[in-house]
Structure 1
Amino acid sequence: MSTSKPNPVALITGGSRGLGKSMALHLADRGVGVVITYRSGAAEAADVVKQIEAKGSTAAALALDAADTRSFDAFAGAVKAELAGRFGRDRLDYLVNNAGIGAHASFAETTEEQFDALMNVHLKGTFFLTQKLLPLIADGGRILNVSSGLTRFSFPGYAAYAAMKGAVEVLTRYMAQELGSRKIAVNVLAPGAIETDFGGGAVRDNAELNKMIAAQTALGRVGLPDDIGGLVALLLSPEGQWINGQRIEASGGMQL
């Protein structure tokens, strides 16, 4: 009878496109099984599952509205069922809180509705989804929250968004402290500007904006999804187990 340890399993929220998709594919390259979530892009999520399976890894996609805390009980039940049925496991090894939305408005013009929408996804969603999934995360596992370089450097129009991400960074340290008794390491990753469809794809599609950001970046270019996906796989690897309670910025050196 084989006594080999089963491959680890990761849950990535917002994994059907952009950074989450890249994270999922890079983890699959390392033999990690992946559960991704999507809010409306079921076809996109199914395609990511196929790409992961083509790499020889196991994958599943589950619908999740990260802003709807009332749905988290049912979602946790669905995760538990997928772990048992598809992965032959009862625990997750890694949770990546990646799901997010963007909003661009000056501080003076930001509406309460915009503020609440950002808070519900980025802060309240991260807080209570992680809380709900704690019984499904293995002792010795990892949690990685996704923040933004905008918590360190400032661009007009992102006050509310950056404030939520700043709160996530503080929350990360508290999670690391309180979950340490279970040997669960918790860190926060802060990407810089990345060429994705996030925020309408401005960084990717607006050549003038892209050039401006590249000029402010020590490595001379805007980030690509694989810059982040590869780093997530590295941070969740066995070699990264002693990193805990840290903010890791991946921006190529923006505004140093």
Structure 2
Amino acid sequence: MQVAVVTGASSGIGRSAAVKIAERGVGVVLTYSSNAQGAKDAVAEIESRGGTAVALPLDIGDASGFPAFRDAVAEALRTTWQRDTFDHLVNNAGFAGMAMFEDTTEEFFDRLTSGLFKGPFFLTQTLLPLMADGGAIVNTTSNSALPHITAPGYSVYASLKGALTVLTRYMAKEFSARGIRVNSVAPGATRTRFADNAFERNPEIIPELARSFALGRIGEPDDIGAVVALLVSDDGRWITAQSIEVSGGQNL
């Protein structure tokens, strides 16, 4: 049985990706930070559909914890799937942050850099020895890094997501010797717990925002999770080094 590691999977896009990947017969190690109950619920959902999953805590903004996390993944692989390796990695964990350029502090800059770029970089490096050849990696970026989506206040966030998009291409080049494919997905505005549950707290903004989408609505987690699951599956076997916007034509 193949196994995938999906970070930030206690809710939203990560949870959807974990469930969609599990639906394809793949075991899932999913991570959570503050939302332990959400992670338990995700495991229960996967198990209710006949899949297998294990939830592990991970702070993507603290690289010092990555070696211990790698050991926990190795233990889960041995005890749950009787394996020494896993096949796929979805670097989805992260957090939003908004500040106008002139108000951006060094602390804010460093916190976002640790979570959105340094974290995925060194987590991948730490887990790579456990990855089997021929697997796949998907990095969750954002269409805020693309030219047609430029919102004031997101200069740091979008720049770091852009850096992760470039890193995806370099990972794909270097890991290709092992047959590991690497792609990124760039969601548009999506109904998740992101940005402190902004859509749930401010539902009145949704209709206006939906008008900016060619397909007439904002994204749902399953819209993106399904694409992530495809990319790590055999259906995506000839796709690598690509950044795929999954946004329903936002600002088209």
Normalised by the shorter chain, which TM-score bucket? over 0.9
Which of the numbers 181, 196, 212 marks the counterpart of 2:177?
181
* Native 8 Å contact 2:135 2:232 kept in 1: no
Which letter does structure 2 place at the counterpart of 1:177? Answer: K
Moved more, 197-206 or 130-139: 197-206
Deviates more, 1:197-206 or 1:146-155: 197-206
Structure 1 counterpart SS, 2:244: strand
How many residue pairs are counted as aligned between the two chains?
250
Distance, in Å, in 1 between the alignment partners of 2:100 and 2:111 is 16
> Which residues of 2 match residues 66-81 of structure 1 at below 5 A?
66-81=60-75
| Secondary structure at the counterpart of residue 59 of structure 2 | coil
1:10-25 correspondence runs (5 A): 10-25=4-19
Scaled by the length of structure 1, the TM-score of the pair is 0.95
Secondary structure of 1:207's counterpart equals coil
Specify which of 134, 137, 140 is matched with residue 140 of structure 1: 134
Deviation of the 1:105 alpha carbon: 1.4
Measured against aligned partners, the alpha-carbon deviations of 1:86-108 in whole angstroms (never above 9, x if no partner) come to 11111111100000111111112
Q: Which amino acid aligns with 2:105?
A: T
Kept in 1, the 8 Å contact 2:9–2:15? The answer is yes
The CA deviation string for residues 36-67 of structure 1, in whole angstroms up to 9 with x for no partner, is 01112222211211111111111001111111
Aligned Cα root-mean-square deviation (Å)? 1.1
Q: Which amino acid aligns with 2:139?
A: N
Match of 2:203 among 207, 212, 227: 207
Q: Which runs of 4+ in 1 moved over 3 A?
A: none
SS at match of 1:211: helix
Find the residue that maps to 1:131 and give its secondary structure. Answer: helix
Match of 1:91 in 2: 85
Partner Cα distance (1:196, 1:83) in 2: 29
Amino acid across the alignment from 2:179: K
CA contact (8 A) 1:194 1:204 kept: no
Unaligned runs of 5+ in 2: none
Q: Report the TM-score, using the length of structure 2 for normalisation.
A: 0.96
Residue 204 to residue 192, structure 1, CA distance change in 2 (3 Å): farther
- Using the alignment, how far apart are the partners of 1:244 and 1:126 within structure 2? 18
**How many Å separate the matches in 2 of 1:71 and 1:194?**
29
CA contact (8 A) 2:183 2:231 kept: no
In structure 1, what is the equivalent of residue 123 of structure 2?
A: 129
Q: What amino acid sits opposite 1:117 in the alignment?
A: R
Preserved contact between residue 202 and residue 209 of structure 1 (Cα < 8 Å): no
Question: 1:3 aligns to what?
Answer: none
Could you tell me how far 1:211 is from its partner in structure 2? 2.0
Report the equivalent of 1:193.
Answer: 189
Superposed, 1:100-179 pairs within 5 Å as 100-152=94-146, 153-179=149-175
AA of the residue aligned to 1:102: A
Distance 2:248 2:122 in 1: 32
